[in-house]
Amino acid sequence: MRDHTSGANVEERLRRSQMELQWIQRQLAIIGARNKHNHHLLAKCKSRYEVSSQQATGHLVHNVSRFRLLEERNRALRLEVATLRQEKQQYRKLRAKLHAALQEKNRLNLELITHHLKTSKYDQVRSDCDQLRQTLAVVSQERDVAQQQKSHLQGRVENLEQVLKHMQEAVELKQQLQTEHEQALVALHTKQKEINQLQKVKVCDLEQRCRSQSDHFHQLSNELLNFRLQSDTAYIPKRNPDSRSQFPLSSEQRRSQVSLGFEAHTKIEQRP
d(CA 129, CA 136): 10
d(CA 217, CA 212): 8
The confidence score (pLDDT) of residue 8 equals 63
DSSP string, 69-133: HHHHHHHHHHHHHHHHHHHHHHHHHHHHHHHHHHHHHHHHHHHHHHHHHHHHTHHHHHHHHHHHH
State yes or no: pLDDT of 173 exceeds 90.
yes
Pair 248, 229: CB distance under 8 Å: no
What distance lies between CA 196 and its chain's CA centroid? 53
- Find the mean pLDDT for residues 25-53: 57
Residue 206 has, within 13 A of its CA and on its CB side, a CA count of: 11
State yes or no: pLDDT of 154 exceeds 50.
yes
For 93-117, what is each residue's pLDDT tens digit? 878 887 887 888 888 888 888 887 7
* pLDDT band for position 41 (cuts 50, 70, 90): low
Instruction: Please tell me whether the overall predicted TM-score, pTM, comes out greater than 0.75 for this model.
Output: no
Per-residue exposure over 203-239, b if at least 16 CB sit within 10 Å of its own CB, e if not: eeeeeeeeeebeeebeeebeebbeebeeeeeeeeeee
Higher pLDDT, 246 or 140: 140
